[in-house]
Amino acid sequence: MILLAACAGWSLITAAVHDGRPEGMLLAVLAMAGGYAAGRVSGALLPVAAPCAGAAAGLATAAALPGLSPGPWYTAPLGCAGATAALLALAAGAACCAARAATTPGLRFGTGALACATVPAGIALGSVAGSVAGAAVMLCSLAAGSVRARGPWLAGLAGAAGLAAVTVWAAAADALPAGLARALGDRFPAQRVAQWQDALGLADRNSALGVGPGRFGELSRAVPGPLLSDGRPHSAPLQQAAEQGLIGVCLLAAAFCWVLYALWRSSRPTPVTLTAGAALTALAVLASVSDALSFTAVTAGAGLLAGWATARPWTGDTTPSGR
């Protein structure tokens, strides 16, 4: 709660200095906190049914999202501004967590089939990244069945998310090898790298406080016209750096590291925590190259998944030994 309060408070400070609009950040913090609390409660009472219902809701939301989103539609590989892929990854993670927590073969088969449905759903929705993310989460869930020490695996997931963020940062700074930069640019719309470069330029000129939340669209000169109508650089680390400075980037990284730490300390079985960690890492990678975290459904879903994976199933025993 202290960390989330710091995220909200810093957004208000930077908004006050630069006349920004912190509502988006405050809504994301509220959605994350509410989702986490709801996940802890529902996961304690219904450790299988709650994540299963969440996975089904995630699939349904991903299918309905193109009609709900005000932003532009981007086709492969990210789907609707990256949110489709993020929701499919979270849905796969929730279904796999339910399968790992199930105690009967029928429940395990049903929840496993729900997880597998995310792959064809991504193809049907035009999100190749969603299909790949769902398949990666399922493979990580299968591999987690033989893991005993979760610490090294969670450290590896943190490294994967950090590598994605560093790669995008290097692409914005034009520090990647020519072949890799060309391959990365071919995977995204033509203006995406230009948006990253513009965000990094704003961050360099305003490294302490940024330019203020919600002001990237006003100050960006990378892509004129309607292509920048959503006013975002489509990269969570670069958006934080441009709008809230280096402290905003550190708070974003700290929130992700705290979730991994909570999964490491969780009393739930290791396969459940590692599956949730894989899904949240997939979300972090997608957020590095899209505006997935700008959608309330995604941030609330991330909080729910983290809550389900860290909840302590309630047994009804209130004695000290039971606790």
Crossing angle (nearest 10°) for helices 192-205 and 150-172: 90
Contact 221, 205 (CB under 8 A): no
Rounded CA-CA distance 82/133 in Å is 11
- Is residue 132 included in any domain, yes or no? yes
- CA-CA distances (angstroms) from residue 31 to 28, 57, 299? 5, 16, 6
Residue 112 within a domain: yes
**CA–CA–CA angle 95, 99, 100 (5° rounding):** 120
Amino acid at 119: V
Task: Please indicate, yes or no, if residue 319 is contained in any of the structural domains.
Answer: no
Q: What is the DSSP string of 77-126?
A: TTTTTTHHHHHHHHHHHHHHHHHHH--SHHHHHHHHHHHHTHHHHHHHTT
Is residue 118 within 8 Å of 99, Cβ to Cβ? no
Backbone angles phi, psi at 102, to 5 degrees: -70, 150
Residue 160: which of 136, 142, 177, 178 has the closest Cα? Answer: 136
In order along its 323 residues, the chain shows pLDDT tens digits of 899 999 999 999 999 988 888 998 999 999 999 999 999 999 999 999 999 999 999 999 888 865 444 444 444 344 455 788 999 999 999 999 999 988 889 999 999 999 999 999 988 888 888 899 999 999 999 999 888 889 999 999 999 999 999 999 998 888 888 888 887 777 777 678 888 888 998 888 888 888 988 888 777 665 444 444 456 788 899 999 999 999 999 999 999 999 999 999 999 999 999 999 999 999 999 999 988 898 899 999 999 999 999 998 787 655 554 44
* Cα dihedral 282, 284, 288, 291 sign: positive
Answer whether residue 318 is part of any domain.
no
Residue 81 included in any domain:
yes
pTM above 0.85, yes or no: yes
Residue-number span of the structural domain to which 210 is assigned? 2-310
Give domain status of residue 218, yes or no: yes
**Does 317 map to a domain?**
no
Q: How many domains does the chain have?
A: 1
Query: Please, are residues 213 and 25 in contact by the beta-carbon 8 Å criterion?
Result: yes
- Whether cis (ω within 30° of 0) applies to the bond prior to 77 is yes
Tell me whether residue 316 is in a domain.
no
